Structure 1
Amino acid sequence: MPPPKSNRRTSPRRTRIHGGWVTVVGEASGRECKVLNVSAGGAKLIMEIAPRIGTKFYLSASPNAARRKQCVVIWRRSSTVGIKFLSEFRSVN
């Protein structure tokens, strides 16, 4: 039997309700999202396009942000997604 969810996390999550920006890999335009909580390894987001996005995308603070993180969707529930960070923040060329 797997350990309870709270015990499987490798780093604590902090509540951070603020805006974010999702850019789907392979697409030029992005969409707004809301970051509900974040840890060193991932985050929980709310976004209207959650059911339509693929599994990989970039997360940034704004559409024109100079830095972003590549992410993968771990779970989905309606418009809420749990994501894992695949990279550190990188500069956008």
Structure 2
Amino acid sequence: MTVVNYPAGFATGSLACGGGGAQPCGPDRVLAAGLLAGFAGVLWLGFAAGVGLSLFSAGAVTAHPRAHVLYDIAFPGLYLLLAVAATAYFAGRT
């Protein structure tokens, strides 16, 4: 098994909102906020966020097999299905 040493604060500081300082939010949280705005009535923003989340999740689904991490591929797969469903919902409403 390969041991990977990540820099300190890698998981909490790079993608978390305010994780250890004035860090920006990660793309998954920003796109989720866009989906919420879409459900609140800004349909074009919801559609754009759905497309972005679909691409983000598709990247996660393709990265898991490349990293030989198949035991938890169901989580990004589920996120991908939900993101595609949200994109289809907003595409039908706009």
TM superposition score category, shorter chain reference? under 0.3
Larger radius of gyration: 2
TM-score normalised by L of structure 2 = 0.22
